[in-house]
């Protein structure tokens, strides 16, 4: 505000009065009205000023003071200034206060003296800027964006402001004081209090984004799989439409193909062109709750739209980790559009060193060059990590990993279907496991720790924190190799997925015992390999107790196999004539075979009983043979005793030389043995594919 003093007499003195809110009370009301048809915001400032500066008298000189102008802040890009006041002329002049500051407008009017008041109206226009222009005001037919502020002359004077838009516009007050919305005269009016308190010390006013949805240059895009995206471009910006809208169908279909169906929680998507500045340093944003992608007018590269669209999948429903969502959005964005940027590669060492992906930094409201460098290094690094994985595992596995991240599937697979291990968004640990187990290992990656080492390098994890994982996973995969083709027990797979490595180690100790017992049983009786009893108990063990029970089953099987192996040996041994007589009416092969079948069927008790019977019968053969011969009972008793001893020695020999050929066995039994019973038994054995070792025993015996 400028002041002037006018001497009412010739001898008057020019004395600058003390001006304050107290002696020149003013009130202002500024109205910012959007006029989209004219592409501008019209500002009308109603000023009321009163002079309370009394005349002063010194000697015979009286000085009267008058007020004939006031100053106030105006937008630097304001044009078409005019002023009016009742019963007189008013003029406005504007003085720039330099780059980044509001300008000073001064309205001059017929002066008012002590006790007088005057109302003045100042009007000027803020033209909307062209797309991508430096002017931050947009006043388009579909999209407007501007800030309004109170025009106070003195601090503490009443200074209200309001924003008026055509009622067809919806208004989002995104910054500063929140205004009261009402309707008046077919217009939407947002009004401040008479003297609002600034909502934040750095900014006094209100910024709005106003949309007339019907006026957008709007297009609907529906993907092959039915994903719906509506693009909303400014009708005044055909260049953006061509770059973004024109490529969107291809982008959408390619994303869907590479990622999979959109999560059910995600509704139809709107992708809207917005003022660059509103994104405060960014070039696009995605709000999963509103299903709204906002893409800057500056983003003429379709990559930005692809990236933001990808956030319909990759947001906090995908992972709590910002770097994972950003990394995936950028990786897939670059995969699906022909951007000159190409795939993300390893950032330079300085950029990499500045980044800690575990602590994602967002741009502050007024970003510096350093802020931009850091944030950009984060994006590059996140994208590089995901790209490395994507390139190694291939498109199909990447899609499988992503789908498993969404569904909460267990990384460590069992049979037949992957269980769900979580109902929340993936942690980086979940993603790491899925990428490793469902992507990298199946793709042939041999270094189990490759990805976790990479995550350490980019700050996601600490080396120490991952040491247990490395050790336990190595043991886990050793166990899988040892038990191939079995899957790991359920309890163990869940322990691994939950990073409960101590429990997993304990489980693997039990699993190793089960594996050992099983191997031993198969070695004793190869037919045991056909049985899935232990495998089922092992794989289905969902608790440590059930795993312990599986060990009991395996040990029982091993014990039974020991008995059955003895029976097979006893049945297969070569007999002397007395023993053969003793065995007339007995069928050792049949009873041993029955024991094998029972063993394979996991009827362990009958198997053991049958095996023991077989052995006992075999061992008693000489005695019963002697008894049958009658006359030589006494001698037979003595011979029988000797025969048992011989048999036992031979049995041991047979166990160690179990590799005689099948042909030898068959020939021997069919040519040398006169008794019909063993010959039949032998035939039935080869039909039922009984064990090689049993046949070998009998063959070796016959040759003697």
The contact set with Zn ion (CB under 5 A) reads: 326, 329
329 or 425: CB nearest Zn ion:
329
For the bound state, the minimum distance from the C-beta of residue 306 to Zn ion, rounded and expressed in Å, comes to 11
For the bound state, the minimum distance from the C-beta of residue 136 to Zn ion, rounded and expressed in Å, comes to 23
Burial of 36 from C-beta contacts in 10 A (0-12 / 13-18 / 19+): buried
326 or 430: CB nearest Zn ion:
326
DSSP state of 497: H
Burial of 49 from C-beta contacts in 10 A (0-12 / 13-18 / 19+): buried
For the bound state, the minimum distance from the C-beta of residue 352 to Zn ion, rounded and expressed in Å, comes to 20
Instruction: Return the SS3 of 580.
Output: helix
Q: How far apart are CA 86 and CA 101, in angstroms?
A: 32
For the bound state, the minimum distance from the C-beta of residue 393 to Zn ion, rounded and expressed in Å, comes to 22
Continuous segment of H or E residues that includes residue 107 = strand 103-113
140 or 288: CB nearest Zn ion:
288
**Residue 176 bridge partners (DSSP):** 206
Q: How far apart are CA 345 and CA 338, in angstroms?
A: 16
Phi, psi angle pair for 76, to nearest 5°: -60, -30
83 or 329: CB nearest Zn ion:
329
Taking the mean position of all CA atoms in its chain, how far away is CA 194? 48
Q: How far apart are CA 62 and CA 55, in angstroms?
A: 7
45 or 386: CB nearest Zn ion:
386
For the bound state, the minimum distance from the C-beta of residue 333 to Zn ion, rounded and expressed in Å, comes to 9
CB atoms within 10 A of CB 180: 10
Number of H helices, E strands in the chain: 21, 21
- Answer yes or no: are the C-beta atoms of 547 and 493 closer than 8 Å: no
176 or 284: CB nearest Zn ion:
284
For the bound state, the minimum distance from the C-beta of residue 436 to Zn ion, rounded and expressed in Å, comes to 25
List the structure tokens of 695.
């046949």
For the bound state, the minimum distance from the C-beta of residue 307 to Zn ion, rounded and expressed in Å, comes to 5
List the structure tokens of 518.
């099983």
326 or 586: CB nearest Zn ion:
326
How many residues are given for the chain?
A: 704
Q: How far apart are CA 256 and CA 253, in angstroms?
A: 5
69 or 325: CB nearest Zn ion:
325
For the bound state, the minimum distance from the C-beta of residue 241 to Zn ion, rounded and expressed in Å, comes to 22
Q: How far apart are CA 325 and CA 317, in angstroms?
A: 9
List the structure tokens of 253.
């279909």
How does strand 284-287 pair with strand 143-148? unpaired
174 or 362: CB nearest Zn ion:
362
Q: How far apart are CA 208 and CA 178, in angstroms?
A: 10
For the bound state, the minimum distance from the C-beta of residue 426 to Zn ion, rounded and expressed in Å, comes to 17
272 or 575: CB nearest Zn ion:
272
For the bound state, the minimum distance from the C-beta of residue 316 to Zn ion, rounded and expressed in Å, comes to 12
- Answer yes or no: are the C-beta atoms of 491 and 419 closer than 8 Å: no
């Amino acid at each position: 505000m400028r002041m002037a003093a006018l001497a009412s007499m010739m001898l008057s003195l020019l004395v600058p009065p003390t001006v304050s809110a107290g002696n020149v009370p003013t009130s202002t009301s500024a109205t910012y009205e959007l006029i989209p048809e004219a592409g501008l915001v019209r500002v009308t400032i109603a000023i009321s000023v009163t002079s309370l500066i009394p005349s002063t008298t010194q000697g015979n000189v009286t000085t009267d003071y008058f007020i004939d102008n006031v100053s106030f802040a105006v937008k630097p890009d304001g044009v078409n200034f005019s002023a009016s006041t009742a019963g007189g002329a008013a003029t406005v002049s504007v003085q720039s206060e330099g780059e980044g500051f509001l300008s000073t407008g001064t309205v001059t009017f017929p002066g008012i003296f002590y006790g007088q008041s005057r109302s003045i109206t100042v009007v000027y226009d803020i033209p909307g800027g062209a797309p991508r222009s430096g002017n931050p005001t947009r006043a388009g037919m579909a999209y407007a964006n501007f800030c309004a502020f109170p025009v106070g002359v003195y601090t503490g004077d009443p200074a209200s402001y309001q924003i008026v838009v055509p009622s067809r516009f919806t208004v989002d007050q995104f910054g500063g004081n929140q205004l009261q919305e009402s309707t008046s005269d077919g217009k939407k009016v947002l009004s401040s209090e008479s003297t609002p308190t600034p909502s934040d010390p750095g900014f006094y006013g209100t910024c709005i984004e106003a949309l007339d949805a019907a006026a957008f240059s709007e297009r609907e895009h529906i993907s092959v799989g039915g994903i719906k995206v509506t693009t909303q471009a400014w009708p005044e910006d055909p260049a953006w439409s061509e770059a973004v809208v024109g490529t969107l169908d291809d982008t959408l279909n390619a994303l869907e193909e590479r990622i999979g169906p959109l999560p059910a929680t995600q509704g139809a998507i709107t992708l809207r062109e917005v003022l660059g500045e509103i994104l405060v340093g960014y070039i696009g944003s995605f709000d999963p709750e509103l299903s709204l992608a906002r893409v800057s007018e500056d983003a003429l590269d379709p990559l930005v739209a692809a990236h933001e669209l990808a956030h319909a999948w990759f947001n906090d429903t995908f992972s709590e980790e910002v770097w994972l969502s950003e990394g995936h959005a950028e990786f897939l964005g670059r995969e699906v559009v022909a951007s000159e940027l190409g795939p993300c590669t390893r950032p330079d060492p300085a950029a990499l060193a500045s980044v800690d992906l575990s602590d994602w930094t967002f741009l502050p409201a007024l970003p510096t060059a350093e802020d931009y460098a850091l944030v950009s290094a984060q994006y590059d690094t996140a994208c590089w990590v995901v790209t490395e994985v994507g390139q190694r595992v291939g498109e199909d596995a990447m899609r499988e990993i992503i789908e498993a991240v969404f569904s909460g599937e267990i990384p460590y697979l069992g049979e037949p279907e992957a269980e769900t291990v979580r109902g929340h968004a993936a942690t980086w640990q979940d993603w790491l496991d899925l990428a490793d187990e469902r992507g990298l290992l199946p793709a042939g990656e041999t270094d189990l720790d490759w990805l976790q080492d990479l995550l350490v390098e980019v700050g996601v994890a600490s080396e120490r924190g991952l040491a247990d994982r490395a050790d336990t996973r190595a043991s886990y995969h050793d166990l899988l190799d040892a038990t191939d083709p079995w899957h790991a027990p359920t309890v163990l797979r869940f322990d691994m997925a939950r990073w409960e490595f101590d429990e997993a180690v304990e489980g693997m100790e039990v699993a190793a015992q089960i594996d050992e017992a099983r191997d031993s049983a198969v070695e004793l009786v190869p037919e045991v390999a056909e049985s899935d009893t232990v495998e089922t108990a092992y794989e289905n063990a969902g608790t440590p107790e059930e795993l312990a029970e599986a060990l009991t089953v395996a040990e029982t099987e091993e014990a039974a196999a020991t008995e059955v192996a003895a029976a097979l040996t006893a049945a297969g041994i070569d007999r002397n004539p007395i023993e053969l007589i003793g065995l007339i009416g007995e069928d050792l092969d049949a009873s041993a075979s029955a024991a094998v079948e029972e063993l394979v069927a996991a009827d362990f008790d009958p198997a053991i009983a049958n095996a023991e019977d077989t052995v006992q019968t075999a061992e008693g053969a000489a005695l019963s043979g002697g008894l049958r011969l009658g006359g030589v009972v006494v001698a037979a008793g003595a011979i029988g005793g000797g025969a048992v001893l011989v048999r036992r020695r031979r049995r041991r020999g047979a166990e160690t030389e179990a590799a005689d050929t099948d042909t030898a066995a068959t020939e021997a039994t069919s040519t040398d043995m006169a008794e019909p019973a063993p010959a039949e038994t032998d035939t039935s054995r080869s039909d039922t594919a009984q064990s090689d070792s049993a046949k070998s025993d009998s063959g070796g015996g016959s040759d003697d």
